[in-house]
Structure 1
Amino acid sequence: MMALWNHVTLERPPYTMWQIKTLDAKRTGIDVSRFKKILSTVIHDFESMDDLYRNVAVLSRLIYRMKNKFRNDKGFMSMVRLDKALDNCYRMCLKNDYVTLKSLIQMRDGMYSLPSRQNLEYVLARTQGFGKLMTRIENMSWIASHYFISRIKLGHVWNVALIALATVCRIWFHTRYILSKCCFWYDELYRYAPQFQYVGAKPWLPNDQSLPHNLKSWLCVDWDLSHNSFTGQQLIRQIMSQEYSNIINEKINTLMLDEEIDNSEIDDSETDNSRLTQNIEVTSNNNIKNKSLSNNDTEDIGEVIDRETFVSSSSNLSPNDGSTAIKRKHMNLDQGKSFKKSKIRRK
């Protein structure tokens, strides 16, 4: 039997509730206000994933633009697997499960109406599958970034690889941050599972399956990142400030080098332009000289040079030294007419 966390669509238990008095809840250690606060933080964390969704949209557009040229590339195939995992994560709709779980918490006449243990275990199982999917996304983004870094080192289509690397790295960073939050959500909600009551005789979990006590150890996550959003924002600002200062220093150095190169190119360009004009004048004079020696070529179709300008330009030229060989491309007009007449007579 497949594990519950591995199902894309999991059949949920019925919406059932059980009641407990406020004094009994305090005596048994059920902190309803904290439970409701945890659900509110989870919903807020899901609503603050706009930056991840933007990068996922950029990733899908990059895959569409790169699928023809990079269809056999290992980095591109890793991007396709990453996009598929992100699509499965989006189709889980875990936020709706937390919203419905929060809506089941009610208070009437000094009595708490709480969701059943089956509903809480269902949300925990879905959170477990969400965390496993996040580990796959983190792993595939790391593999794709490895291939794109090697492509940048080789220098082959490095500009496209750099854009793909930046997008994948941002997804990798957001995935790690969400995965740390997911472990925090699971550990906080799992504390209330033994305290909640089953509604009905049949439990929701099968006999051969159970929920892990610690999600981080079950996922084999060997890195640590605080779940607090404020520390995550500080880390992002620190990284961006260091990178921003390095980029500014590099831009200043490149601008100074470009100015030096431009000044040197201006001095050389002035001398080179004078040489180019001299060469153009010499070649034009030689062409006119060659054309003046062939009288038959001046009568061709498309010839625009007047004979007066032709004679005046040829008079200023030096006499021909015989170094250039002149070849006649066309025969005389009289010869052409006689050749056509001979053809007609033969026919």
Structure 2
Amino acid sequence: MLEPWNDKSVLPPPINTSPCQINFSIKELKSGCNTIIRVLSKQSPLHKESAIFSRFLYKFDKKFRNDIGYRNFKKVYTALRKYLSLTLLKDVQNFIDVLPANNEVKPYLPTRQMLQYILVKIVTFSKLMYRITVCSKQAAIFYLNRIKLGESHWMCLMPYALLCRIWSMVLVLLQHSCNWYNQLYPFLKHLPYKGLDFLPKEYQLPVDLEEWINLKNINQAGRLEWSQKLNVNVESVIMVEDEEGDVSENLLKYVNNINKNKDSDDETEIQIVLPKQDVQSEIVSNEKYDEGVAISRETFKTMMNLPSTVTNPAVSKIKENHAIENVTNRDSLLKFIENEEEFRNKSNDISLTGHLSFMQWQALKMTLLKLDGSLDTRKLEKKFKRIWQAKCLDYV
């Protein structure tokens, strides 16, 4: 059975009032409800960020669909959509309309079930804010890791900044929701109970929402437990202070004892491995050892009928021709780009743009291909060297 705050099919109780003696300040109850309306009616920045979220999901769905950080990114967007479909602002406004004026002699107060419904909606709101906070933190961890590694950093900076903005806004709303709940909960006992039960019989609303949602440890939520992390258990014996009240010496003694035990274990292992029997070594005589006769390389080639080594002048010729000084016209520019593309694919040392990434090389190549072939040699060389300096040499 779903709890009421997690059940989307829960219907609000009927609007009903009954006469009751006032044992509390209606002004405080109205003030608490007006605070909720005032805060929720000024969340246009959060709504704009939610719209940007949908654009990022459309843009990055194909590239990062299998990424763990992107999956948490989608969870944040799902929680934001549920927040946008939440009718807390409308429900609180309806509750305020039923409240009587401050100067009425025999006021008619709303039922307790109506206030319970408002509190349940506040709990739903706080749980959504808590989920957005945790998922945005987990997604930001993966995007920040990509930025540090330089892997698709140009596609991770904007989602990371968006997650940071969402996290800061939602964390403030989460604190507000806890204050709203704690401010309205004491008024339950003063309102009249009339009609059918709104909540299940065994269900009880939390007394303190901040403690129930564990807001104090919100910074610990969302942290990832890495498999490489090891928990080191230190024995309580080594933490006992010595006569002079120094704990560090006891720690050093403990470490020394561990090292001694390791050394003794290693010695025993070596003694077990070594054989106890005396090994008789055989003396090898050097009388029949043939040192051979030294021959020259040319003699060896004539004996084996090997062809003489042929030097390939094509490599040195290509290396000499592959230079930016040889680009003088459109044809030489295309040949230069073709050779550079081939050298980059083969990771050849002749490549002049080996320090550039794939995207940087693509940007440089497209800029060079846009050069007008009708220019004379001087203007073409001047523009080529300017582009080469800006997009290649400055990235070194």
TM over 0.5: yes
Letter of the aligned partner of 1:3 in structure 2?
Answer: E
Give me the whole-angstrom Cα distance separating, in 1, the residues matched to 2:71 and 2:104.
59
Letter of the aligned partner of 2:38 in structure 1?
Answer: H
Mapping of 1:263-282 within 5 angstroms? Answer: 276=325
Give me the whole-angstrom Cα distance separating, in 1, the residues matched to 2:104 and 2:328.
102
Query: Secondary structure of the residue that 1:121 maps to in structure 2?
Result: helix
Q: Which one of the candidate residues 146, 159, 169 is aligned to 1:174?
A: 169
Q: How many residue pairs end up in the alignment?
A: 226
Mapping of 1:86-235 within 5 angstroms? Answer: 86-107=80-101, 110-200=105-195, 202-222=196-216
Give me the whole-angstrom Cα distance separating, in 2, the residues matched to 1:82 and 1:280.
55
Query: Secondary structure of the residue that 1:35 maps to in structure 2?
Result: helix
Letter of the aligned partner of 1:187 in structure 2?
Answer: N
Partner of 2:9: 9
Mapping of 1:280-319 within 5 angstroms? Answer: none
- Which structure is higher in RCO with an 8 Å CA cutoff and minimum separation 6? 1
Letter of the aligned partner of 2:3 in structure 1?
Answer: A
Query: Secondary structure of the residue that 1:199 maps to in structure 2?
Result: coil
1:19 aligns with 2:13: no
Give me the whole-angstrom Cα distance separating, in 2, the residues matched to 1:215 and 1:19.
30
Shift of 1:198: 0.6
Cα deviation 1:318-346 (Å, max 9, x = unaligned): xxxxxxxxxxxxxxxxxxxxxxxxxxxxx
Shift of 1:112: 2.1
Letter of the aligned partner of 1:114 in structure 2?
Answer: L
Query: Secondary structure of the residue that 2:108 maps to in structure 1?
Result: strand
Partner of 1:48: 42
Query: Secondary structure of the residue that 1:182 maps to in structure 2?
Result: helix
**1:280 and 1:127, CA in 2 relative to 1: closer, same or farther beyond 3 A?**
closer
Partner of 1:74: 68
Check conservation: 1:8, 1:88, Cα contact below 8 A: no
Letter of the aligned partner of 1:14 in structure 2?
Answer: P
Give me the whole-angstrom Cα distance separating, in 2, the residues matched to 1:134 and 1:9.
20
Letter of the aligned partner of 1:120 in structure 2?
Answer: L
Identity over aligned residues, as a percent? Answer: 28
Give me the whole-angstrom Cα distance separating, in 2, the residues matched to 1:168 and 1:37.
33
**1:221 and 1:109, CA in 2 relative to 1: closer, same or farther beyond 3 A?**
closer
Any stretches of 5+ residues in structure 2 without a counterpart? 220-323, 333-396
**Aligned-residue RMSD, C-alpha:** 2.3
Cα deviation 1:22-64 (Å, max 9, x = unaligned): xx42xx2x11011111111110100111111111111111111
Give me the whole-angstrom Cα distance separating, in 2, the residues matched to 1:144 and 1:15.
42
Shift of 1:206: 1.5
